[in-house]
């Protein structure tokens, strides 16, 4: 690497970073890859603090700024991004992982409140956070690419959608639609912000072994058969999604734009 010792000399931001899921793995992966300025958020303040502590203990060169809040609130999101920029002065790699599962019902038995909650976090929350990130990125100086050969990059955003944004599943209409919306949002933002040297991509994970699907017994039972549909016949691990997110954020993905990358064991 000629220009920089790390692929991530800039500032990383991860939403949904508490607990032991994809966001947590992504925050650790950025630090492991040499990123020294990492901002994280989640609605759960206790487990968010655990992520901060764990990253800083394992990777002492990395400084982690953590602020808990609800990404479906525009006030919280705008305040969080403002604080990150105040602390770290810019924003380069954003991985938007925060999400909730749907109620596990078909459309006629899903209440309006349940539908609104899923969309408020998965779709509106992703839009609010990526919108605030884009607003910051368009006004900052681009960073040189890792090899100096590719165009400089003003920022890269990776939204975590789902394989269920591409295909349907029983009793998951609200969730599937919220994730299809994230894919559509990603593709349109990729078009609008290409001229600003910002790349926007998303990842569509298959079945990943996280608290998201393993906490409620009914979710676990409903989702496990879907892991066996994929040729690799296993659940993915959070760090396998994190690796894909880091690739898409890095300038090694300099010509990857508006892509919905499935990470689902085939």
| Catalytic site positions | 175, 179
Task: Return the residue of 14, 18, 38, 40 that touches ligand NAD, per CB under 6 A.
Answer: 18
The Cα diameter of the chain in Å comes to 58
Task: Return the residue of 21, 102, 104, 265 that touches ligand NAD, per CB under 6 A.
Answer: 21
Between 146 and 179, CB nearer to ligand NAD: 179
Task: Return the residue of 10, 16, 103, 265 that touches ligand NAD, per CB under 6 A.
Answer: 16
Cα dist from 216 to 94, 97, 101, 111, 213, whole Å: 29, 19, 10, 20, 7
Task: Return the residue of 98, 177, 181, 202 that touches ligand NAD, per CB under 6 A.
Answer: 98
Does the footprint of ligand NAD cover residue 92 (CB under 6 A)?
no
Q: For residue 152, give every residue at least 6 positions away whose Cβ sits within 8 Å of its Cβ, in sequence order, or none.
A: 142, 143, 144, 145, 197
Please identify, among the stretches 5-13, 84-92, 97-105, 139-147, the one whose residues bind ligand NAD according to the rule CB under 6 A. Answer: 97-105
Q: Which residue, 88, 90, 33, is CA-closest to 64?
A: 88
Cα–Cα distance measured from residue 11 to residue 82, given in angstroms and rounded to the nearest whole number: 13
- What tokens appear for 141 in the block? 């100086």
Min CB(255)–ligand NAD separation in Å = 25
Does the footprint of ligand NAD cover residue 97 (CB under 6 A)?
yes
Please identify, among the stretches 27-35, 37-45, 135-143, 252-260, the one whose residues bind ligand NAD according to the rule CB under 6 A. Answer: 37-45
Contacting ligand NAD within 197-256 (CB under 6 A): 205, 207-208, 210-213, 238
- What tokens appear for 127 in the block? 């839009």
Q: Is 170 left (phi over 0), alpha (psi -120 to 50) or beta?
A: beta
Between 53 and 194, CB nearer to ligand NAD: 53
Q: For residue 195, give every residue at least 6 positions away whose Cβ sits within 8 Å of its Cβ, in sequence order, or none.
A: none
User: Residue numbers of the site for ligand NAD (CB under 6 A)?
Assistant: 16, 18-19, 21-23, 42-44, 70-72, 97-100, 121, 125, 160, 162, 205, 207-208, 210-213, 238
């Amino acid at each position: 690497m000629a220009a920089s010792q790390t692929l991530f000399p800039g500032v990383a931001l991860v939403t949904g970073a508490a607990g032991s899921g994809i966001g947590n793995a992504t925050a650790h992966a950025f630090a492991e890859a040499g990123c020294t300025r990492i901002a994280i958020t989640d609605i759960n303040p206790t487990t968010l603090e655990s992520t901060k502590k764990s990253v800083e203990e394992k990777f002492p060169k990395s400084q982690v700024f953590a602020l808990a809040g609800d990404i479906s609130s525009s006030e919280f999101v705008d305040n969080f991004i403002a604080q990150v920029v105040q602390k770290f002065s810019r924003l380069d790699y954003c991985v938007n992982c925060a999400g909730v599962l749907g109620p596990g019902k078909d459309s006629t038995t899903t209440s309006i409140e349940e539908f609104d909650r899923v969309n408020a976090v998965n779709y509106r929350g992703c839009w609010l956070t990526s919108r605030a990130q884009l607003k910051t990125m368009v006004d900052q100086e681009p960073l040189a690419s890792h090899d100096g050969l590719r165009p400089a990059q003003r920022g890269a955003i990776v939204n975590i959608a789902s394989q269920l944004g591409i295909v349907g599943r029983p009793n998951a209409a609200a969730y599937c639609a919220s994730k299809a919306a994230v894919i559509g949002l990603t593709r349109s933002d990729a078009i609008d912000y290409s001229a600003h040297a910002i790349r926007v991509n998303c990842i569509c994970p298959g079945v990943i072994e996280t608290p998201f699907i393993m906490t409620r017994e009914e979710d676990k039972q409903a989702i496990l058969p879907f892991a066996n549909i994929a040729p690799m016949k296993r659940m993915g691990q959070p760090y396998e999604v994190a690796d894909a997110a880091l690739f898409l954020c890095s300038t090694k993905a300099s010509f990857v734009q508006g892509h919905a990358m499935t990470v689902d064991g085939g």
